[in-house]
Amino acid sequence: MLRKMTLRARLSLLIGGVIIAGLGFGVSLLILHAGTRVSAEAEGATRLARELVQATLPRLSTTQNPRAVLAELMEDAGRLRHVRVILEGDAPSTPAAEKRAPDWFSALVFRAPAPTRVATPLGTIEIAASSQDEIAEIWEEIVWLAIGAAGVAAIAFALVSYAVSRALAPIGALSDALQRLEQGDHAIRVPTDGSREFVMIAERIDSLAATLQRLDSENRQLLRRMIHVQDEERRAIARDLHDEIGPFLFTVRAGVGALARKAQSSGADPARLAEDCAKIDAQIAALQQVNRRILGRLRPAALEEMGLADAIEALARGWRETRAEIAIDLSLEGARAKLDETTAITAYRVVQEGLTNAFRHSGASRIAVAIARAGQRLRVEVRDDGTGLPAAFTPAGLGLRGMSERVTALGGTLRLDNGSNGGARLVAELPLDAASADKTRS
């Protein structure tokens, strides 16, 4: 039940319970003190009545009219409070109408002791405590004190409830702001009102909203860059198809046409026809090589067939064939265990981009590629001994920018800087999933 109550209702219930408990404790103390007070009054009145009777006894023995003395004694004793003095055998006098406390309160506060009897020549006088008037006075005091305390408690409860309501008022604004954030309204800002704690929460929500708004803007920019990169990639593929495959196709087509004309002519030389066929075959082989290179740029088939380590070795072999004057050192221990497809492709692309940039721009004589595992991360490094990066270098190329976005999307990091021993260094750190890490440990 308490879980369904609001914080305001819980605090109000707690405060009300504390006030009621304090009021009950105060009344209980008054009742306990009332018993002591009534007992003291009754004991004093009984002792005074007993002394009065004992002081009058000698006069009853010496006076000529003892009944008059006894009547005077009873009249004097009747004026005493909190005590009842009667002569045995006489009917007790009916007291005047007086206020009385509830019977349960009288029984709780005071239990009258046994009456005291004093023998006289004219009969036995009975002295009994009678504290009803005192108990009634105490009861009336307690009632009025309880009413007053209840009034003060009600006023205090109202004031405290109002203060609590004012103090918790910012919770509604905070809740609305979080709901609007959940709905995607990242431009929301929360008023910084209320206590210091609520102000701190409001500032954190504003900071979160600003961060989400900034991330929205960055995501839109990233999406635009991705579209731009895709368009550039399509243009590059179209350029390769036009500039490289197009001439080969034209040459093959022209060769086939010439071959057909020679074959139809009279006196065709079989040796010349075979030579033309060999030329066409060479053109087709070159066309296949260009086609494989373009397909490799789109998706390296060697990854699926051989794995990351063998695919990188094949990539290095291709560069060694075209640029034999530059040495390539490979350290691929971290690439030989099984990796998920996305991580493997990203690592391959990093090496591919690093080798391409090193061969084109570094002027290096040696390039080193290293892939190693460090805990839950895969470290990919491509470094060279070339001229290094200029002081004001910024990675403006689409290749590095696209590679950085790919690595960041996986939760990794990519940096390009100068090595400690000269040359440039491209380092990527990619997170490994739990399955890959477990297979590596086993």
Question: Alpha carbon of 262 to those of 254, 269, 283, 398: distances in Å?
Answer: 12, 8, 19, 49
Cβ-contact 441, 421 below 8 angstroms: no
* Amino acid at position 197, single letter: E
pTM of the model: 0.47
Cβ-contact 120, 70 below 8 angstroms: yes
370: phi then psi, degrees, rounded to nearest 5: -135, 130
**CATH topology for the 322-441 domain:** Heat Shock Protein 90 (3.30.565)
Per-residue pLDDT of the chain (442 residues), as tens digits, is 566 777 777 777 888 888 888 888 888 888 788 778 778 877 787 888 777 877 777 777 777 777 787 777 777 777 777 777 777 656 555 454 456 778 777 777 777 777 777 777 777 887 777 777 777 888 888 888 888 888 888 888 888 888 877 777 777 788 888 888 888 888 888 877 777 877 888 888 888 888 888 888 888 887 787 777 777 777 877 777 777 777 877 777 787 887 787 777 777 777 877 887 888 888 788 777 777 777 666 666 667 677 888 888 888 888 888 888 888 899 988 888 888 888 888 888 888 888 888 888 778 888 899 999 888 889 999 988 888 777 655 555 556 777 787 888 888 888 888 877 778 888 999 998 644 444 444 4
Report domain extents, the chain.
Answer: 2-167, 186-230, 322-441
| DSSP notation for 194-248 | SSHHHHHHHHHHHHHHHHHHHHHHHHHHHHHHHHHHHHHHHHHHHHHIIIIIHHH
Considering Cα of 273, then 275, then 276, then 282, what sign does the dihedral take? positive
Token couple for 363: 């002027």
